[in-house]
Chain A
Amino acid sequence: MIASLAFYLFSFVLIMSALFVISAKNPVHSVLFLILAFFNAAGLFVLLGAEFVAFILAIVYVGAVAVLFLFVVMMLDVSFADLRRESMQYIPLGLVIGGILLVEMAFMMFAWSPSMMAGGNIAAAAPKDLSNTHALGQILYTQYVLPFQVSGLILLVAMIGAIVLTLRVRPGTLRQKISDQVHVRREDVVEVRKVQSGQGVE
């Protein structure tokens, strides 16, 4: 009973916050609602027994991705009201595309029925004798090791691309070179002179 109550609570808050993401006037509020949506999605994963996925969702999306989102949105100095007004002219087109997708989905819903074999193929979210994390690791690093590594490489390429795109080499700027500072020797910077009184240093 508690589990189903929790399910309805998470789902309701998830859908409501998703609605607010697209309808909130202030973009910062949108991102905050997005974070709430991520959270509730993580809650749904926990209810499914997929606790590893749930917490990775929380760590990656809430802890990292949404922080950067919020960071950028807060820094941006764009009048979102103007942007909204401009985007209004695309609403008919958007409605047409959305309508087509909806009709397609409706066709699928009514014309499609699961095969008899499908019932037997439903896997449990977590294997009985193994914790979720171990199960995921075992399948990810054996059966799916190639796709896993390839997706890692793709992300690496994207990361390098982002660095290359934003790298600015500015000649003539002064930078702190820590290793130079550490390697300074006494002889390079300190000179001891005997000064006769009344003579001064040349």
Chain B
Amino acid sequence: MTLQIFLNDYGLPGALIVLQILAFVVPLLIGVAYLVYAERKVMGAMQLRQGPMTVGAFGLLQTFADAIKLFSKEIIIPSAAHRVVFILAPVLTMLLSMIAWSVIPVNEGWVIADINVGILYLFAISSMGVYGVLMAGWASNSKYAFLGGMRSAAQMVSYEVSMGLVIVCVLLCVGSLNLTEIVTAPRPWWVQVMLLPMFVVFVVSILAECNRAPFDLPEGESELSGGFLVEYSAAAFMLFFLAEYANMILMSAMATILFLGGWLPPFGIEALDFVPGVIWFVLKVSFILFVYIWVRATLPRYRYDQLMRLGWKIFLPFTLIWVLVMAGTLMATNSLPVVQ
């Protein structure tokens, strides 16, 4: 009898949650596989190459072949490494890039946990990404890895500050920390225009946050021969790799929710309402991901002091002033969101 009650109270909801999680994680992992494929194809096209061609039609199965190869290899742990932290680092990185998806709404109501402070949760999780890199760099007990980890820590902390202020700007016009409400809150056109510079800052910051080109200094193969990843092999490397791409998708989803209107049709065109919201969401995320790849194929890597200068001397003052401008304008036009 008690078992019956237990099953009704916890068993069924638990099974439902597991199904929901699978419904998010499986498409996400497939998305990661095809993001890697897309990156190679798009960069190939930009550099007049073919990209992957041989495995499957048009090379569509290339990523899976790579994954199977990496899985079947031996994990080499350096003898001087701190074993537990060394293994924990990729696991943690992967975990963080997955659990953030629990609050992302991909359509009206399509979200695992619709919590009040969703954006804070996302920000907290994304700011924890630095630990994976830092732990990997330290536990490898190698100079290259260590320098890569240190650089990454400094870089991520620097860009998080301006990211936080950008988020504050959006929250000022929305008046809620809930991600669904951030998407659905009405925004007049002039607010959108005022948020445009913040969108640019955000996109640049997420490039830095994900350690992507032109801010891929933690890996910096030209000077650090792979940075924090240098001692990692096989499945451990693959976890980092997966997590990096999952984080790219996550950050793009965050930008979509904050600035591009999530699952709503673009520019509020009602004629496009017949397309399911999740398709708009995927399209918008793919657009930002394309920008990621485009930037990587176009721009050379920043020098370290230039990266720090951009973060602290340009983005931080600019976003700080913009928060004031934004708040002042909203206040003056009496359009601050009202809380009952």
Residues of A within 8 A of B (CB): 2, 26, 28-29, 32, 35, 51-52, 55-56, 58-59, 62-64, 67-68, 70-71, 74-75, 129-134, 176, 178
Which residue of the partner chain B has the closest CB to A135? B339
Give the number of chain B interface residues (Cβ < 8 Å).
32
Inter-chain CA distance A71–B306, complex, in Å, is: 21
Interface majority SS (helix, strand, loop, mixed), chain B: helix
Q: Measured between C-beta atoms, what is the minimum distance from B147 to chain A in Å?
A: 11
Complex Cα–Cα for A51 and B119 (A): 12
CB distance from A54 to the nearest CB of B (A): 8
A176 and B153 contact, CB distance less than 8 A: no
Query: Quick check: A63 and B124 within 8 Å, CB to CB?
Result: yes
CB < 8 Å neighbour of A131 from B116, B131, B157, B164: B116
Q: What chain A residues lie within 8 Å of B156 (beta carbons)?
A: 67
CB distance from B124 to the nearest CB of A (A): 4
Given A70-B131, A71-B153, A130-B339, 17 extra CB contacts under 8 A: A28-B85, A29-B85, A51-B117, A55-B121, A55-B124, A59-B124, A62-B128, A63-B123, A63-B124, A67-B130, A67-B131, A67-B134, A67-B153, A70-B134, A74-B138, A129-B340, A134-B339
Interface residues of B (CB under 8 A from A): 10, 82, 85, 115-117, 120-121, 123-124, 127-128, 130-131, 134-135, 138, 146, 149-150, 153-154, 156-157, 160, 164, 177, 305-306, 309, 339-340
**Are A133 and B123 also in contact (CB < 8 A) when A35-B131, A64-B157 are?**
no
- The 8 Å CB contact of A133, one of B164, B177, B305, B340, is B177
Q: Across the interface, which residues of A come within 8 angstroms of B154, CB to CB?
A: 71
Could you tell me if A59 and B135 are in contact, using CB atoms closer than 8 angstroms?
Answer: no
| A residues in contact with B134, CB < 8 Å | 67, 70-71, 74
Q: Identify which of B146, B149, B339 gathers the most chain A CB atoms within 10 Å of its CB.
A: B339
CB distance from B154 to the nearest CB of A (A): 8
**A133 closest partner in B (C-beta):** B177
Q: Looking at A59, A64, A71, which has the most chain B CB atoms within 10 Å of its CB?
A: A59
